Chains A and B, each alone.
Chain A
Amino acid sequence: MVKFPYTAIIGQEQAKTALLLNCIMPQIGGVLLAGEKGTGKSTLVRSLSQVCPERKVITIPLSVTEDMLLGSLNVETAISQGAIEYDAGLLAKADGHILYIDEINLLSDSVINLLLDSASSGKCTIEREGVSHSFACRIILVGSMNPEEGTLRPQILDRFGFYIELKASKNKRERVEIMKNRLAYETDKNRFVNMFADQNKDIEKKISTALSKLSKIKITEEVLTIVAEICHKAFVAGHRADLALLLGAIANAALDSRTLVSRFDIATVEPLALAHRIRNINAPEENQEEETEENDNTKDDEQQEENNEPQNNEQPQNEQKNDELKEQNEEENDNDNENQPQIEAPVDANDEMFDFDDSFVLNKDPLKPAFDKIKCIKGSGKRNKTISETKRGRYVKARIPAGKLIDFAFDATLRTAAPYQLLREKNGLALSIHSDDIREKIRERRIGNTVLFLVDASGSMGIRQRMGEAKTAVLEMLKQSYIKRDCVGLMTFRHNETETILPPTRSVNQAQKLLKNIKTGGRTPLSNGLKDAHLLMQSLHRKNNEIMPVIVLFTDGRETIQNTQAEGAIHFAKQICNDEIRLIVIDTEAGFIRLGKAKSLALQSKAEYYTIDELKEKSMSGIMTN
């Protein structure tokens, strides 16, 4: 296949520099390219071997299994000769080359960890299937991702030497050039590649001179101090940043064929090495102001790009603040500081309608999985990649089955049985497999919650803006759901009935539109609401037993219609909890006199409980203004 020429790629200078520096100095620790779709991330990486011919670009598909990376027993020789031989895996083959993963944020966690471990230690040891082996694995790890599809955990980010955010060009001339180049390439690939052959050669030469210069580069004490100071000022975690910055600066000097590292080199490399590591300790307020203006992720990225100038340490990237939190919490927290949207609700005069409350800022994500509860829900976990208990999901590795065999892993079983084939009685079959050879597949699958918002729309919710607050809280939680790709549904109860406004779907947009139009008024059939919500969740669970059902109840707990059954709301709430459905009660009761009915409901049924004020960031000021 004729690849798009490296030098025909227009713009994206930072990414180009980062990749070249890594080719010269692989110790920098790889590059992560983050950017919106269609910015030439993968074109750039794949064309790299043109200017650096001694390094191949090896692509890792997302469906890779662990044994393919590490290598495994050679089944054929094991069966025919009973010999244990080792087949090199991708990592061994990639020694000295570039390992590229497109959409790295979608790769399974265990594979990412494995890759990063090998890349940083430069070697890899395996002990499995009777094979004990260690091999060199000096790789340049290059990943690309689109942050819209989810981000990487901060500790994974930190292990990449450089991080670059790519943006599409806003310059019309450049856009025209890009179009023309692409068209020319597609019409006649060979001609187009020839056009750029000389330019590619120039860069190739530059790299080889740089490589020869590398050992002669001198670093002054002053340069070291500058590096240390920059990293100190930026509050980076750990010392990886210092090292990446220094090594990058050395490589940059070599690329310019100088023998002395200068301030200029450091300035060039600084944004690459620090962008993903800066933690902002002293300026949280500023961050919020910025984020209120830009209340969506994509724009945040844009802003970050603008802020990438060397001296600027106001990097509003949420992950970085959370560095020191517990590991599991981190990815859930990423989006906690999401802010208030400015939505114009249509003014509608019938019934009572409450607009979203503008002063409301969500500071907690109640949908964050409660870790103590996880064990009891089958196939559940954080709202990300989890180990799947059924046959769906991505096969990552194999294990010895515990209990009944559900998902047979043929390849792993074959490898286990292979060395014994010469010795075993086969009864005319090609293979003899004993029961203790059998392995089953471990699959990973991303599971989102199935969240049903059960909103009390009775008359009492109309008092004191409560409905407005509740709507905003639901909206904020919907936003979280959008990012985590949960299924959401919406149900309200008022007058004498419950109404399923939206059965759970992935279409969060739909939920938001319908949410706007919820009207309040009438009495509160709380127990009916709980009962119907329970039924709905049960039927969903019957259809798909892997879902993580969550009911979020917004109410003040004042039931005004008594159910015929004696226990009423508490009875149904208990049933929901007994059914392993998470029930989260958001208490909307406000004001001076509080009856605490919602709280007692939550306590008695052992549901999770939050007051609506707890969800607000500025809870005190919120109460004051009311």
Chain B
Amino acid sequence: MSWKEIWKKKRSPKLSHKYSKLLNSVTEKHAQQNKFLILYLNKMKKYPFAAVVGQEKMKKALLLNLINPKIGGVLIKGEKGTAKSTIVRGLADLVSGLKVVELPLGATEDKVVGTLDIEHAIKKGEKRFEPGILSKAHGNILYVDEINLLDDNIVDILLDVAAMGVNTVEREGISHSHPSQFILIGTMNPEEGDLRPQLLDRFGLTIDVVGESDVANRVEVIKRRLAFEQTPDEFAKDFSAQQLELSNTIISAQDKLSNILFPEYLYECIASISCAIGVDGHRADITMLKTALTIAAFYNCVEVTEEHIYEAAELVLPHRLLRTPFSGKDLTAEEIRKVVEKELLKVEVNS
């Protein structure tokens, strides 16, 4: 089943609708008595994606994944308080039917893969499968905050499922398998430890985020946040036009994706970049290719250009260097740019 079909199937009332309904009923009845409850429920509302100031690179990487989920997810590296979670949660409103399913760090294995439905077994004496987080994540975003702190055995499972797109459960008397394709989005603070290489490789793209350094932008961040917390609904309304525009961009890019042309010489260029940088395996090549195509679709182009390749390389390559225990540094943007320019030049000379 393609991702679009999955999304179409899911156009059921969304979670956020439930909250707003609840909020409305509360507002009418208890508005005076319980301001705190309202504040709390307001907090459950989602900050609109389009209203986030800055963090353009992160936004772009995430949008590319919405356009083409086969890119394989995003790993966001950076410190706390850089709007990582806000942006990721906001993604759900851009594509109808899309949810953000969170995998909490403390999740136990049976809750992740699914397990025997104990209640059903006790009441009826029958075995039944109780779906876990991986089942909910199918066709959605699986979001793991602080993914580098996840328990090893949960990581093992994620590796398995992310590779196959199928969750096979063989435990506690249950034999079950269901599709589980998701956009894996993880965040981590590199100072708290590294991610296992195999899991790192499963992420299509990585980006580094830092807080906004421009003072004017910082002020804008605070202003918007305050406005949102006071009157979330009105705030959302202000940005609804922009949100709609983004949604439309995604849809039109999705339609275009299969018709984007990819010039022959750029295939070779991608291969040379990978060889020059020295990456593990072939996933880098394939992801670079897909990302470049998606970028072209995003910019409404007919054909992939060299600039698209460069942009793709910058997102795909940093975490894919052949890594030894202590050489461990990610490539910087400039280093990647240099390699890409060099290889592009070579290919041009040859042709």
Contacts and interface: CB of A to CB of B under 8 A. Distances in A.
A430 interface: yes
Contact of B153 (A299, A431, A445, A512): A445
A65 B170 CA distance: 7
Contact of B170 (A63, A149, A343): A63
A446 B152 contact: yes
8 contacts: A36-B281, A37-B198, A38-B282, A39-B282, A80-B125, A186-B70, A395-B109, A507-B190
A102 B125 CA distance: 34
Interface string B135-163: 00000000000001001110011011001
Interface string A14-47: 0000000000000000000001111110100000
Given A38-B282, A175-B274, A506-B148, A410 B125 contact: no
B281 A38 contact: yes
Given A1-B165, A62-B157, 19 more contacts: A62-B156, A63-B169, A64-B170, A64-B171, A65-B171, A102-B160, A102-B164, A103-B160, A169-B282, A175-B270, A175-B282, A183-B262, A296-B327, A395-B171, A410-B121, A411-B172, A506-B194, A507-B190, A509-B325
A172 B275 contact: yes
Interface in A501-546: 505-510, 512
A364 interface: no
Interface residues of A, number: 79
Contacts of B190: 507
B296 interface: no
Nearest to A507: B193
B151 A392 contact: yes
B324 to A, nearest CB: 4
A68 B125 contact: no
A76 B173 CA distance: 11
A149 B159 CA distance: 12
- Chain B facing A: main interface SS: helix
Contact of B164 (A42, A178, A343): A42
Contacts of B262: 183
A75 B125 contact: yes
Contacts of B125: 75-76, 79-80, 421, 430-431
A76 B126 contact: yes
Interface stretch (B83-91, B225-233, B283-291): B283-291
Interface in A427-483: 429-431, 445-446, 475, 478-479, 482-483
Interface string B107-122: 0111001001010011
B223 interface: no
Contacts of A180: 267
A68 B171 contact: yes
Contact of B191 (A65, A411, A510): A510
Given A39-B281, A42-B164, A509 B326 contact: yes
Contacts of A40: 282
B173 A72 contact: yes
Interface residues on B, range: 35 or more
A68 B173 contact: yes
Interface in A133-182: 146, 148-149, 168-170, 172, 175-176, 178-180, 182
A61 B170 contact: yes
Interface in B256-273: 258, 262, 267-268, 270-272
Contacts of A178: 282, 285-286
Nearest to A36: B280
A303 to B, nearest CB: 14
B192 interface: yes
B194 A507 contact: yes
A5 to B, nearest CB: 16
Contacts of A421: 125
Contact of B325 (A64, A72, A479): A479
Contacts of A61: 113, 157, 160, 167-170
A429 B267 CA distance: 67
A507 B326 CA distance: 11
B196 interface: yes
Interface in B180-194: 190-194
A415 interface: yes
Nearest to A40: B282
B39 interface: no
B157 A63 contact: yes
Interface core residue of A178, A394, A483 (most chain B CB under 10 Å) = A394
B13 to A, nearest CB: 30
A170 B322 CA distance: 14
B123 A430 contact: yes
Given A37-B201, A76-B127, A512-B326, A63 B196 contact: no
A406 to B, nearest CB: 14
A90 interface: yes
A446 to B, nearest CB: 5
B21 interface: no
Contacts of B271: 172, 175-176, 179
A168 B280 contact: yes
Given A75-B125, A298-B322, A506 B173 contact: no
Contacts of A600: none
A62 B325 contact: no
